Amino acid sequence: MSYLFTSESVSEGHPDKVADQISDALVDNFLAFDANSKVACETLVTTGQVVLAGEVKSTTYLDVQKIARDTINKIGYTKGAYMFDGHSCGIFSAIHEQSEDINRGVDRASKEEQGAGDQGMMFGYATNETENFMPLALDLSHRILIELANLRRENKEITYLRPDSKSQVTIEYSDDNIPQRIDAIVVSTQHDEFDTDDRMLAKIRKDIINIVIPRVVAKLPEHIQVLFNDDITYHINPTGKFVIGGPHGDTGLTGRKIIVDTYGGKGAHGGGAFSGKDPSKVDRSAAYAARHIAKNLVAAGVADEILVQVSYAIGVVEPTSIFVDTFGTCPFNMTDGEIAKEVSKLFDMRPAAIEERLKLRAPIYSETAAYGHMGRKNETVTKVFEQPNGESVTLSVELFTWEKLDYVDKVKQAFGL
């Protein structure tokens, strides 16, 4: 019997994502000037106020207020009418030195013997139902909000959009887990004042269905385009008016959108957030490594769908476990336990090895802080960072290295595919 599955996404202007982006902007700036920085920064945003807190060990000094303001302005909170804007909001910093009790378990005389920055379990997931090996409902939810943000910045076809928005997509699957059609789409977008509520709701609904959705569909492969139909149930700003939004409408905190950040409820999540953390924190680096493993295994044909779990003890070099679940989709006679043993041989999961393999000691994290950390485009970009004294550094960095399919041939060879 068919079933329904739903995933949601939130925009870069959602208060929790504003907090994530500020935290990751701080991480990037610390790493740009001191690649060995240890960073764990949390951000709180509310009406007219930003609070920065956390622990840092670094040789560099940053103007954290400017970094926060620049991030807020880039998102689009630039008007006093939003009751939160980068020019006028208050910024309080309570960032202090990292605990030596934590650091002693991480740093070693030999870089290769670096211990895990914390205990915990991390998951990576991949499925072949989309070209980027991501769950379809989440991928579409992200795409809707990316297109909405593009239209907001263009300010031509739709001129009333504000930065805060959310989306949700429900897909009907067959009993053999094949997407059949899109059942429902939910979009809630912050907007400027209208003269009447009725005209407002009608205008927003029409623009979402007739402008945003067609732009999303046009960028999809044909086999996904056919899932869109005239029977989709649309819920557009279902509560009605949405003028008050962003940090003024709802307090935002770093790390509150970890399911949006990963797989939209498919697979599993270990519970640890990513944003605001340098790669010595395995909450972040091992989750990326597990995604890299799962994606390369699926791309190589080991299974149609794979979940990888890895776990660590704080200060311990080797992972305490590696687990693989193929959900019964492995096409050859090999158990999940046997696959996990091969994975442990193919991929060095020591924290320092992960950092080196995925090039994680670089300022690559601001781009991860909205629209998901997984399923994104691997590319090389140039970034410029400035210190308070006027000095600047220009760096060429590779983004989303964990999305590379650079182990497919090695996986095929190991599994005889």
Note the pTM of the prediction, 2 decimals. Answer: 0.95
Backbone Cα Rg of the chain: 22
Q: What backbone torsions phi and psi does residue 312 show, to the nearest 5 degrees?
A: -140, 160
Instruction: For residue 90, name the pLDDT band (cuts at 50, 70, 90).
Output: very high
The confidence score (pLDDT) of residue 111 equals 66
Strands (E), 241-373: 252-253, 305-312, 321-325
**pLDDT, tens digit (0-9, with 9 covering 90-100), for 299-320:** 999 999 999 999 999 988 999 9
Look at residue 197 in the predicted model and tell me its pLDDT: 87
Residues 215 and 356 in one domain: no
* Res 70 pLDDT > 70: yes
Strand pairing category for 233-236 and 179-191: parallel
Q: Is the pLDDT of residue 99 over 80?
A: no
Q: Which residues are annotated as a binding site for Mg(2+)?
A: 16
240 — alpha (psi -120 to 50), left (phi > 0) or beta? left
Domain count of the fold of the chain: 3
> So what's the pLDDT on residue 282?
95
Residues 229 and 266 reside in one and the same domain: no
- 228 and 352 assigned to the same domain: no
Question: Which of 101-110, 203-212, 315-324 has the weakest average pLDDT?
Answer: 101-110
In this structure, are 311 and 345 located in the same domain? yes
Binding site listing for L-methionine:
55, 98, 250, 281
* Average of per-residue pLDDT across 51-80: 96
pLDDT for res 98: 73
262 lies in the same domain as 236: no
In a domain, 251, yes or no: no
Q: Which residues does the annotation place in the binding site?
A: 14, 16, 42, 55, 98, 164-166, 241-242, 250, 256-257, 273, 277, 281
Residues 6+ apart with CB under 8 A from 262: 123, 125, 269, 287, 372, 373, 374
Q: Is position 114 within any domain?
A: no
CATH code at position 203: 3.30.300.10
pLDDT at 107: 59
What confidence score (pLDDT) does residue 195 get? 86
Lowest mean per-residue pLDDT among 95-99, 172-176, 247-251, 272-276: 95-99
Shortest CA distance to 275 belongs to which of 86, 50, 54? 54
* Per-residue pLDDT, 102: 53
- C-alpha 316/C-alpha 111 separation (Å) is 13
Supply the pLDDT for residue 97: 86
Locate 240 and state its tokens. Answer: 């009605």
Does residue 152 share a domain with residue 92?
A: no
Question: Do 297 and 377 belong together in one domain?
Answer: yes
Q: Which residues are annotated as a binding site for K(+)?
A: 42
Q: How far apart are CA 320 and CA 323, in angstroms?
A: 10
Same domain, 262 and 189: no
Q: What is the pLDDT of residues 117-171, one digit of tens each?
A: 788 999 999 999 999 999 999 999 999 999 999 999 999 999 999 999 999 999 9
Residue 250 is assigned to a structural domain of this protein: no
| Cα–Cα distance for residue pair 170/232, rounded to 1 Å | 9
The DSSP result for 139-193, as a single string, is: HHHHHHHHHHHHHHHH-SS---EEEEEEEEEEEEE-TTS-EEEEEEEEEEEEE--
- 92 domain residue, yes or no: yes
Asked whether the predicted pLDDT for residue 103 surpasses 70, the reply is no
With 70 as the cut, is the pLDDT of residue 104 above it? no
Question: Is residue 115 assigned to a domain?
Answer: no
Residue 108 confidence (pLDDT) above 90: no
Confidence bin at 403 (pLDDT 50/70/90): very high
Q: Which domain does 220 fall in, by range?
A: 3-9+135-245
Do residue 234 and residue 264 come from a single domain? no
Measured distance CA(312)–CA(308) in Å, rounded: 14
* Residues 43 and 85 reside in one and the same domain: yes
Same domain flag for 173 and 27: no
Query: What is the sign of the dihedral through the CA atoms of 85, 365, 273 and 112?
Result: negative
User: Do 268 and 406 share a domain, yes or no?
Assistant: yes
Binding residues for ATP: 14, 164-166, 241-242, 250, 256-257, 273, 277
pLDDT digits (tens, 9 = 90+) for 360-377: 999 999 999 999 999 999
What CA–CA distance (Å, rounded) separates 171 from 176? 14
Q: Quick check: is 384 in a domain?
A: yes
Distance CA 21, CA 248 (A): 17
Across 11-15, 74-78, 100-104, 152-156, least confident range: 100-104
